[in-house]
Structure 1
Amino acid sequence: MINVKLKSMKMKKVSLSFLMVASVLFALFAFTLVRSGGIQGKVSPADGVEIVMAVSGTDTLRAELNNGSFSFKDVKPATYTVWVKAKAPYKDASIENVAVVDSATTDVGEIKLVQ
């Protein structure tokens, strides 16, 4: 009778251990399914841009600039507003509803600054 109870307890421990390991593996796998995307584009004239930012809710990202070209990397999937802070005499510009989806880079094209 005691042997039966001991075997039963050992099986419960093994089952519980297996369930915990499976849960941890599932949780780790679930986080790898959400992949970040990106946003890219170009501002002209290149010397008229000071900062390019993307805003979604409370998230604000700042882009790397290279001769007027900009890119945001590792962007969470969401809808953003791309905001260009221009140098004088140019005016600021923005593009709304820029959608970033899983693992894709959204190209907003060329943003032409006006005086």
Structure 2
Amino acid sequence: MKTRLIFCAVAVIAFGLYAFNTIKLGAIMGQVAPVASVNSALLVSGADTLKVLPVQGIFKFTNLKQGVYSLIIKGNAPYKDFVLKNVAVKDSATTNVGKIVMQP
């Protein structure tokens, strides 16, 4: 009886760990040129906003839930802000938006 109870407990724990382990998160990355044109990169979803500071013009948002986001690149003067809407993120995938050339 004890063996059966222990087996059931182990099975429940294993199932629970597997169930929580199947949730995979995505990412969005890209590059901004010229490097000195960018101040920060923002990612907006509903009322939530994430901010990263690009390094050498490269930015990456990680641990994102599947969904659709808006990407805003804040430009340093005299460069204008850049907005890219409807950036899709899928589970376990990185969406690369490519190279963004900022306009003065």
Under a length normalisation based on structure 2, what TM-score does the superposition of the two structures give? 0.82
Go from structure 1 to structure 2 and tell me whether the alpha carbon gap of 1:89 and 1:76 turns closer, same or farther (over 3 Å shift): same
Report the Cα distance in structure 2 between the residues aligned to 1:78 and 1:58, rounded to whole angstroms: 14
Pair 1:61-2:57 in alignment: no
Q: Which runs of 5+ in 1 are unaligned?
A: 1-9
Any idea what SS the aligned residue of 2:77 has? coil
Pair 1:48-2:37 in alignment: yes
Report the Cα distance in structure 1 between the residues aligned to 2:14 and 2:45, rounded to whole angstroms: 31
Residues 1-115 of structure 1 aligned to structure 2 (within 5 Å): 14=5, 18=8, 22-115=11-104
Root-mean-square deviation (Å): 2.2
Under a length normalisation based on structure 1, what TM-score does the superposition of the two structures give? 0.75
Q: Which runs of 5+ in 2 are unaligned?
A: none
Structure having greater relative contact order (Cα 8 Å, sep ≥ 6): 2
Q: Deviations over 1:30-52 (max 9, x none)?
A: 22111111111111111011010
Report the Cα distance in structure 2 between the residues aligned to 1:64 and 1:36, rounded to whole angstroms: 21
Question: 1:25: how far off?
Answer: 3.8
Number of residue pairs matched by the alignment: 103
Report the Cα distance in structure 2 between the residues aligned to 1:32 and 1:64, rounded to whole angstroms: 30
Name whichever structure is richer in helix by fraction: 1
Go from structure 1 to structure 2 and tell me whether the alpha carbon gap of 1:32 and 1:52 turns closer, same or farther (over 3 Å shift): same
Percent of residue pairs identical: 41
Q: Deviations over 1:48-86 (max 9, x none)?
A: 110101111233222241111111122221111111111
Larger Rg: 1
Give the letter aligned to residue 103 of structure 2. V
